[in-house]
Structure 1
């Protein structure tokens, strides 16, 4: 695959293939979530744009993971899917299990709580399974549920498209598509489920067809890209009903265009997203996303200043976790997945 121009090459870290401005988007997405959850402490019946933040996460996640698979196939000629799952487990599980253990320590042992933590550990908080439905403390792992289920689809879909003939490899994807029929979805609903897979799949398609799509994105004026993103974010608040169904395809399309076209169209936007504080906070975003849920749980910290201090403590812990827990485990995952994985950039 040819080296891409503009934002897709200018902000890449040498020798690692990392696109720094994607970490900036992680920061913005995380801030959407934190602001909404903080707001809910004082206005529990209202919501802001936390869902939009998670949608931004989904758009870049589909792109990044597919891009890694393409880079591996380009270098090696094949993709080791066993190694793929080892790397994903090493990336996702340590921070999650650490958070679930922290919840047990802070809240104390309770059979109902343990059932909810188990649901989160099994990545099923995006569906309803009887009495053990996930509540606030692990409710935010609904997004991890969708992401991990997408990872079950992606290698098979990737192999199918790469082979151009093995359509049977798409059967696992078709089976997973029946999930909303077999189980009621969590609060995101059927419309949200379709939008999420459009975001994940759209990011994957962008990575697959980068050489054709990136030049198109680079021709979009920055103000059009920004307006597209703003429209998509605004429409995430459309209430459930006929209006939400009518706007279903608009939300993922406008968010995808905004996220990927804006840094290509505007050097200023790209530099801001790749700015070291923005990119660094993006590196810590996964752990901070997990722990902000406990910090902003109703009744955990009552006063605004104690909530602020607790969030700062969570940020400090996220930085510690990234350096001394996540990075070593990610390196271990690359070693366990074989020598070919050693050249894979961190994600």
Structure 2
């Protein structure tokens, strides 16, 4: 793949497939019990983190090229309409379902104050602790644009230096304070990959990874890493393994942007369908688990049996199916309408800004650091962004 081919991409379909696999890994790990421990499915969350960092930063970098500075308001509006509406709907459903007898809403074992303020990762005993990733990502989305883009267009080396410095700071903070800080490293590794890919000199570094043979070899190697992850966690500790695992994910991603067998496999309609709904799928898995147990109970009453659905393949598969059905409803009724509303608001703000700029004298030179200006169009990150998701499991 050449640099121009990468910049011409308006969609990364294989990343939807990767997100689908990551989401299913998490569900199977949570509800499959010992039958799925070998998969280390909790690592799916770090796949999501790397993807989020890559896509969010790609969006910001491509937007930055248009006026020479990203709109922080537009950035936060996109995040708001992408993440919050469906999250609040699921949170409300959780509060109603798990309410104590006689109460309309429940506080989810004392976790509600954390969930309403996106301090999810600090809720240890709440029923909705799988949402801890939203606390991590929301804080990252709040700070990252201000750190990496507040100064406008800055040189590749300086931006790489800032990102590497943040990775080092997160590692030190995790060592000296709380392990939670280690989860920022996978997101920053995704950001680092996006920064490299965006600039011609940086893309030259990762271009060998897009070769079909190299990309295929790395994908097969990553499968081996995934299968060996449980042993690595036991040997070195899960926290220590996280940055290295995230680096492996980042090494595989360039090959999934080019024409490799892995790209073809992950771009199938089924995986794309699941990947587009992966955010809602992950959010509703607790409710889906409760629904499956309810269905079993109803079935026992109707059939007069005493069947018990324990952890295992059957339970995990049923929960995955019910989660996908619920996710599809949320995707159609909540996610997509809210994302479209957010885009309309952003487009309206952009049109107002462009109309206002039309009354000003046009600059004679492009801002420092900008290349050839092109008419605004939706970037690959913008079209892919609605699929940016989180995933549970600490």
> Given the two structures, how large is their TM-score scaled by the length of structure 1?
0.77
1:303 maps to which residue? 309
The structure having more radius of gyration, on CA atoms, is 2
2: CA distance, partners of 1:47 / 1:307: 14
1: CA distance, partners of 2:106 / 2:95: 11
Pick aligned residue for 1:215 from 207, 210, 230: 207
Instruction: Write the deviation string for residues 270-293 of structure 1: whole angstroms up to 9, x where unpaired.
Output: 111111111111001110111112
Are residue 289 (structure 1) and residue 295 (structure 2) matched? no
1: CA distance, partners of 2:45 / 2:242: 16
1:81 maps to which residue? 72
50 and 117 in structure 1: CA distance in 2 versus 1, 3 angstrom threshold: farther
2:129 maps to which residue? 139
Question: Hey, which bits of structure 1, 4+ residues long, moved more than 6 A?
Answer: 304-307
1: CA distance, partners of 2:45 / 2:195: 22
Instruction: Write the deviation string for residues 175-197 of structure 1: whole angstroms up to 9, x where unpaired.
Output: x9597699x75xxx35xx42x32
2:226 maps to which residue? 233
Moved more, 246-255 or 145-154: 246-255
280 and 236 in structure 1: CA distance in 2 versus 1, 3 angstrom threshold: same
1: CA distance, partners of 2:84 / 2:173: 23
C-alpha displacement of 1:32: 0.6
Contact kept? 1:119, 1:134, Cα under 8 Å? no
1:93 maps to which residue? 84
2:190 maps to which residue? 203
Moved more, 99-108 or 298-307: 298-307
2: CA distance, partners of 1:235 / 1:244: 12
Are residue 250 (structure 1) and residue 244 (structure 2) matched? yes
1: CA distance, partners of 2:318 / 2:35: 21
C-alpha displacement of 1:30: 0.6
Moved more, 203-212 or 104-113: 104-113
2: CA distance, partners of 1:152 / 1:83: 13
Are residue 5 (structure 1) and residue 5 (structure 2) matched? yes
C-alpha displacement of 1:256: 1.4
1: CA distance, partners of 2:38 / 2:82: 30
2: CA distance, partners of 1:267 / 1:318: 30
Are residue 117 (structure 1) and residue 112 (structure 2) matched? yes
Moved more, 71-80 or 208-217: 208-217
Q: Which structure carries more relative contact order (alpha carbon 8 Å, separation 6+)?
A: 2
2: CA distance, partners of 1:299 / 1:52: 26
Calculate the aligned-residue CA RMSD, in Å.
3.5
Pairs aligned (count): 319
2:329 maps to which residue? 320
1: CA distance, partners of 2:134 / 2:46: 12
Name the SS of the counterpart of 1:337 in structure 2.
Answer: helix
Instruction: Write the deviation string for residues 102-142 of structure 1: whole angstroms up to 9, x where unpaired.
Output: 112222246542731331232222235xxxx343x311111
181 and 74 in structure 1: CA distance in 2 versus 1, 3 angstrom threshold: same
C-alpha displacement of 1:51: 2.0
Pick aligned residue for 1:331 from 340, 353, 359: 340
Are residue 37 (structure 1) and residue 30 (structure 2) matched? yes
2: CA distance, partners of 1:157 / 1:235: 36
2: CA distance, partners of 1:253 / 1:27: 20
Q: Unaligned 5+ residue runs, structure 1?
A: none
Q: Unaligned 5+ residue runs, structure 2?
A: 297-307, 352-376, 387-394
> Given the two structures, how large is their TM-score scaled by the length of structure 2?
0.69
1: CA distance, partners of 2:66 / 2:275: 28
Name the SS of the counterpart of 2:120 in structure 1.
Answer: coil
Contact kept? 2:64, 2:70, Cα under 8 Å? yes
